[in-house]
């Protein structure tokens, strides 16, 4: 039983168990086993990375001890930048890079405001969230802006962000996996990852050991910004349009995903496997409940219960294993 | 021997520090010789920590000079201090509790292979070696620090200083909140530093913890140095009288 105990000591283990439980539950109980239907899985694989990619960055940021509530504004903002550039006749490839750049810039701003004012990022990014949303609403007049004819279905760019691999596997899920892999290596194998953990776990110690914690935090904010830019373009290409409502609610859902994956709200604790599982669990919960005919507007209630249960479970397991 | 005892390692001259309207250090001179252990004692608020934080780069003096190995130096960050070979072991500030022992020892100075990827094998082996040098046997370098006892934690922080060949180790209240057995453990770590010829500043307000291991005592009160005595010229009773008297003196 030694390996069982070792496995359970791993913080992401209970998320993994609950995840498997949910998959089995939904597989067996949805009408006509709809959950494991090929089309449902394909749709899930297309949709979940929108939030998932953002959540990966938010998780890394939480490990270094900060939050970013502005993702729900940075994302549509980047999307609008992308669409406007397309309208000006810029090739999608370049517009995409500019959108990532804008994401990085807004992330940099979040980081600078947070480390320079020494305010909790919960407040600073609440401010930037409202600010950028206001700017975006004025700039875009909240009108949707279609890009179907600028990024036609079947074009290389469209296939790279909204296509399928081997006629079935949604490419979005591959992007998610790629980012998870890169950030996982960064977090667990690269020296910068150790600085992220140290910064979140004990900032004074990290500083005393010569780590520039302000820089570490700012870079993490920028990672989140870039991922918002990426997700923005991916989503815009999939729905063939900019929508002012893109990304709404992502700020808290991303945090919920990370918490479900065992990331601490106080920083210093969390892992990439956990964050990935969290980013999968929330959409699966969504999807499964919809298939179970739970009214769409009530699903939020279940996500809320699930988040709280996970936090309680995580801290219980933590106390047991220590 | 590369290190020679008796030669001046650090000299702080006429250090002044204000925090807003609080005059925290009022022209303090302080020196440490190579291989020497200095007990820095005084009541809370005497200025011990402020003085040491200036030496370790946490604060900057408003006035005064610092010489290290005879050279005038400017220590404007903890990183500068570490480059000189000054390692500080703070009470609760030295370690990241959820990180592993090895990751703590190498925090900020991780051994890396190509592209900044941490060399775990080297990191783990070197960590265990550094701990063994202190006589500390821990099960695995992967254990999070939070699972260790208070004494063991101090050991991890001191092992870090030892591994990186510090010339001066500053221990800021290393025995606070430790059991009697753990205090003895920490004092044993300090003796190991002494055997390696490393200079130590031992800050404490428990005179008896410092008395065993220090060779010289500096007593501070209200931002000033009140006394600077060799152990052979004093006794614990006299020292505690000094601390009490200088705290109440006008």
Residues of B with Cβ-Cβ distance to A198 under 8 angstroms: 96, 99, 103, 107-108
pLDDT at A171 over 60: yes
A12-62 pLDDT, tens per residue?
Answer: 787 888 888 888 988 888 888 888 888 888 888 988 999 999 999 999 999
Best mutation site among B88, B93, B98 for testing chain A: the one with the most A CBs within 10 Å?
B98
Using CA coordinates, name the residue in chain B closest to A216: B108
Cβ within 8 Å, pair A268-B107: no
The domain of B178 spans 8-248
Report the residue of chain A nearest B92, measured CA to CA: A205
pLDDT digits (tens, 9 = 90+) for A196-254: 999 999 988 888 888 889 999 999 999 999 999 999 999 999 998 998 888 888 999 99
Asked if B88 has any chain A CB less than 8 Å from its own CB, the reply is yes
Query: Are residues A189 and B110, on separate chains, in Cβ contact within 8 Å?
Result: no
Q: Is B149 helix (H, G, I), strand (E, B) or coil?
A: coil
A189 touches chain B (CB under 8 A): yes
The answer, yes or no, to whether residue B4 has pLDDT greater than 50, is: no
Task: Tell whether B139 lies on the interface with A, counting CB pairs under 8 A.
Answer: no
Whether B53 maps to a domain, the answer reads yes
* pLDDT for res A9: 60
For all residues of chain A together, what is the average pLDDT?
89
Q: Binning pLDDT at 50, 70 and 90, where does residue A99 land?
A: very high
Q: How far apart are CA B207 and CA B241, in angstroms?
A: 11
Q: Do B26 and B75 touch, CB atoms closer than 8 A?
A: no
Helix (H) and strand (E) counts in chain B: 8, 10
Residues listed for chain A:
322
Examine the pLDDT at A108 and tell me if it is beyond 90.
yes
The reported pLDDT for the residue numbered A217 is: 96
Q: How far apart are CA A280 and CA A286, in angstroms?
A: 10
> What per-residue confidence (pLDDT) applies to A231?
95
B121 to chain A: closest CA residue: A189
Which among B56, B90, B116 has the least Cβ separation from residue A190?
B116
Say yes or no: ipTM exceeds 0.90: no
Task: Provide the pLDDT for residue B6.
Answer: 67
List, as ranges, residues 41-80 from B with C-beta within 8 Å of A: 56, 58, 77-79
Burial of B96 (0-12, 13-18, 19+ CB in 10 A): buried
Of B177, B194, B208, nearest to B41 (Cα)? B208
Residue B114 within a domain = yes
Do the chains contact at B103 and A198, CB–CB below 8 Å?
A: yes
A164 Cβ contact partners less than 8 Å away, ≥ 6 residues apart: A42, A170, A171
Does B1 reside within a domain?
Answer: no
The yes-or-no verdict on residue B93 having pLDDT over 80 is: no
CATH code (residue B50)? 3.40.50.300
Is the separation of the CB atoms in B176 and B91 below 8 Å? yes
Which of A253, A189, A186 is CA-nearest to residue A219?
A: A186
Contact across the interface for B103 and A197, Cβ inside 8 Å: yes
Residues of B in contact with A195 (CB under 8 A): 108
Report how many domains make up chain B. Answer: 1
Answer whether B23 touches A (CB < 8 Å).
Answer: no
- Biggest alpha carbon distance in chain B? 61
Q: Does A190 contact chain B (CB < 8 Å)?
A: yes
pLDDT for position A49:
93
Q: Is residue B195 part of a domain?
A: yes
Mean of pLDDT values over A145-154: 83
Q: Is residue A67 pLDDT above 90, yes or no?
A: yes
pLDDT at A5: 63
pLDDT (0 to 100) of residue A237: 92
What's the rounded mean pLDDT across residues A157-174?
A: 87
Closest CA–CA distance from residue A257 to any residue of chain B (Å): 21
Q: Which residues of B touch A10 (CB under 8 A)?
A: none
Closest CB to A189 among B94, B98, B117:
B117
CA distance A228 to A128: 14
Write down the domain spans for chain A: 16-23+32-321
Task: Report the topology of domain A16-23+32-321.
Answer: ABC transporter involved in vitamin B12 uptake, BtuC (1.10.3470)
Secondary structure of A262-322 in HEC code, one letter for each residue: CCCCCCCCCCHHHHHHHHHHHHHHHHHHHHCCCCHHHHHHHHHHHHHHHHHHHHHHHHHHC
- A194 in B contact zone (CB under 8 Å): yes
Check if the beta carbon of residue A45 is closer than 8 Å to that of residue A173.
Answer: yes
Residue A115 in this model has a pLDDT that exceeds 80: yes
Q: CB distance A209–B118 less than 8 Å?
A: no
Residue B140 sits at the chain A interface (C-beta within 8 Å): no
Residue B2 within any structural domain of the chain: no
CB A70 within 8 A of CB A227: no
State whether B98 and A207 contact (CB < 8 Å).
no
Q: Which residue of B has its CA nearest to A201?
A: B96
Asked whether residue B213 carries a pLDDT value surpassing 90, the answer given is no
The average confidence (pLDDT) of chain B is 84
**What is d(CA A303, CA A300) in angstroms, rounded to the nearest whole number?**
5
- Do residue B78 and residue A210 have CB atoms under 8 angstroms apart? yes
When pLDDT is cut at 50, 70 and 90, the band that residue B1 belongs to is very low
């Amino acid at each position: 039983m030694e390996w069982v105990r070792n496995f359970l000591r791993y913080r992401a283990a209970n998320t993994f168990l609950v995840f498997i439980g949910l998959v089995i539950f939904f597989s067996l109980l949805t009408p006509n086993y709809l959950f494991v239907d090929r089309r449902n899985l394909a749709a899930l694989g297309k949709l979940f990375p929108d939030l998932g990619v953002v959540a990966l960055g938010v998780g890394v940021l939480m490990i270094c001890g900060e939050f970013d509530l502005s993702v729900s504004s940075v994302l549509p903002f980047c999307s609008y930048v992308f669409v406007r550039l397309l309208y000006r006749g810029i090739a999608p490839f370049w517009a995409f890079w500019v959108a990532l750049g804008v994401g990085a810039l807004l992330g940099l701003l979040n980081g600078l405001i947070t480390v320079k004012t020494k305010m909790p990022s919960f407040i600073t990014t609440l401010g930037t969230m409202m600010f950028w949303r206001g700017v975006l609403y004025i700039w875009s007049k909240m009108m949707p802006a279609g890009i179907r004819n600028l990024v036609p279905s079947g074009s290389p760019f469209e296939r790279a962000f909204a296509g399928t691999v081997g006629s079935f596997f949604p490419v979005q899920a591959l992007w998610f996996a790629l980012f998870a892999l890169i950030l996982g290596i960064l977090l667990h194998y690269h020296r910068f990852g150790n600085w992220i953990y140290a910064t979140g776990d004990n900032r004074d110690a990290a500083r005393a050991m010569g780590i520039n914690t302000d820089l570490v935090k700012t870079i993490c904010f920028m990672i989140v910004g870039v991922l918002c830019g990426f997700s923005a373009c991916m989503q815009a290409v999939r729905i063939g349009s900019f929508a002012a409502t893109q990304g709404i609610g992502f700020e808290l859902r991303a945090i919920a995903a990370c918490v479900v994956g065992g990331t601490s709200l106080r920083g210093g604790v969390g892992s990439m496997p956990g964050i990935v599982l969290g980013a999968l669990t929330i959409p699966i919960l969504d999807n499964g409940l919809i298939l179970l005919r739970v009214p769409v507007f009530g699903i939020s209630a279940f996500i809320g219960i699930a988040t709280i249960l996970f936090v309680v479970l995580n801290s219980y397991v933590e106390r047991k294993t220590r | 021997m590369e290190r020679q005892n008796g030669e001046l390692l650090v000299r702080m001259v006429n250090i002044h520090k204000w925090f807003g309207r609080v005059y925290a250090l009022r022209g303090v001179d302080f020196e440490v010789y190579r291989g020497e252990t200095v007990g820095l004692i005084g009541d809370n608020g005497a200025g011990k920590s402020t003085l040491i934080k200036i030496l370790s780069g946490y604060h900057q003096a408003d006035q005064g000079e610092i010489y290290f190995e005879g050279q005038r130096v400017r220590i404007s960050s903890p990183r500068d201090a570490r480059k000189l070979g000054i390692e500080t072991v703070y009470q609760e500030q030295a370690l990241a509790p959820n990180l592993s022992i090895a990751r703590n020892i190498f925090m900020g100075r991780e051994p890396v292979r190509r592209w900044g990827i941490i060399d775990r094998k080297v990191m783990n082996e070197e960590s265990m070696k550094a701990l063994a040098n202190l006589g500390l046997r821990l099960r695995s370098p992967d254990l999070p620090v939070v699972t260790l006892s208070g004494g063991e934690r101090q050991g991890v922080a001191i092992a870090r200083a030892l591994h990186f060949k510090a010339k001066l180790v500053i221990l800021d209240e290393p025995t606070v909140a430790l059991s009697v057995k753990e205090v003895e453990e920490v004092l044993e770590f300090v003796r190991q530093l002494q055997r390696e010829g490393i200079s130590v500043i031992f800050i404490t307000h428990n005179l008896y913890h410092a008395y065993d291991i220090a060779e010289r005592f500096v007593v501070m009160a209200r931002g000033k140095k009140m006394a600077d005595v060799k152990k052979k010229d004093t006794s614990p009773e006299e020292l505690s009288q000094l601390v009490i008297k200088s705290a109440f003196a006008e």
